[in-house]
A and B are shown apart, each in its own frame.
Chain A
Amino acid sequence: MGELAASSISGHVLVSLGLGSCIGLALLDRKLGVAGLAHVVLPQSQGHAPENPRKFADLAIPQLVTELETLGARKQRLEAVLVGGAAMFAVSSASLDVGQRNEAAVRALLKGLRIPVLATATGGNRGRTIRVDVSTTSVTVREAGGKDTELLAGTRALETA
């Protein structure tokens, strides 16, 4: 929770297990084969300097973009996939629609950065796991008791030895 990672190393798989109301945001530079994943817990940091900035959408996303650029990704080529933002408990209460607020905040921030959203598996009331394969930049999602479903196909062939 509130973590992010970026990688350009073939063979790496970035994973966020058990996303409930949190959003797993994958940012991909598919041409270069660089991918990042942020595990966003809350929409806004609301002005105070938090101990873990990476759990807030408004702070995590710019940081992830910076890390990807350090690995050679080009911001103009970045594309996004969103997973999560569910309402796990079907009770309406202010703190329990945080999933929807997270998704809205992430989408708004991406729009501001002109990063297109290619695919999503969000909302509802099921938990999900997101896996990003760095070599192929494919994204798969799994629900409780289910199997991996490809959300975004890889565009790069796996490197052969």
Chain B
Amino acid sequence: MSPPYTELQLDALRELANIGSGTASTALSSMLGRSVDISVPTARALPFADAVDAAGPAEEEITGIVLGIVGDMTGTVLLLIPPADADAMCRMLGVEPDDEYALSALGEIGNIVGTSYINALASMTGMDLEPTPPATATDMLGAIVETVLASHAIANDIALMLDSNLKVEGEDCSISFLLVPDKGGVELLLSRLGLG
């Protein structure tokens, strides 16, 4: 059984997620022209089946934007936006939700927000990290999360999920982030944070 992460390690990872989402919220704020708040991130190390359940009701429809991380560490950043919130954000960018550009507007939001998150991680840890281009899907939450986790499901069964929430002020509108590092990635992050 792979060693679970200690509270101290999870705290450090939470702090990392905090800074990542703080930077991301600034980027989202300038993009939308609105104030964006962040919630305190959660850091969970869970067996895969529980990780999918922890993300929310499996059949709930949600918009997911996924970016890969390459460089000193590999992994995935998954942004989850409820469809109504995704529509609201499109409108804030001046794009109607059923417009043909709506999907690429969302991809762009995902790109900018995801990239600033990854850049923050890189500068916090001194690692060389680059995002890969985003891909978007609107579908069942369970299917989206499990597909992302499955691409990391190699030797071990535990998924590390760092979950932050960005809320657009004045709107009932939020984005959830999941950072899913590949197994070696977590160890690397922790050692860069002095807790390996």
Contacts and interface: CB of A to CB of B under 8 A. Distances in A.
Interface residues of A, number: 35
A96 B47 CA distance: 21
Interface in B37-72: 47-49, 52, 58-59, 61, 64, 66, 68
A36 interface: no
A127 B140 contact: yes
B1 interface: yes
B49 A18 contact: no
A25 to B, nearest CB: 15
Interface residues of B, number: 35
Given A20-B147, A98-B150, A144-B61, A41 B140 contact: no
Interface string A30-60: 0000000000011000001011100100000
Given A50-B157, A86-B143, A144-B139, A55 B48 contact: yes
Contacts of A125: 137, 139
Interface stretch (A68-76, A87-95, A111-119, A133-141): A87-95
A19 interface: yes
Contact of B48 (A1, A17, A88): A1
Contacts of A42: 150, 153-154
Contacts of B146: 1, 18-22, 41
Contacts of A90: 135, 137
Contacts of B59: 17-18, 129, 142, 144
A91 B133 contact: yes
Contact of B143 (A20, A48, A95, A96): A20
A41 B135 contact: no
Contacts of B157: 2, 50-52, 55
Given A18-B144, A21-B150, 16 more contacts: A1-B153, A2-B48, A18-B59, A21-B146, A42-B154, A50-B155, A52-B157, A55-B157, A89-B136, A91-B133, A91-B135, A93-B68, A98-B150, A126-B139, A127-B143, A129-B142
The 9 closest A-B pairs by CB, nearest first: A18-B142, A127-B143, A20-B147, A20-B143, A17-B58, A127-B140, A18-B58, A89-B135, A95-B151
Interface of B: 1-2, 47-49, 52, 58-59, 61, 64, 66, 68, 132-133, 135-147, 149-151, 153-157
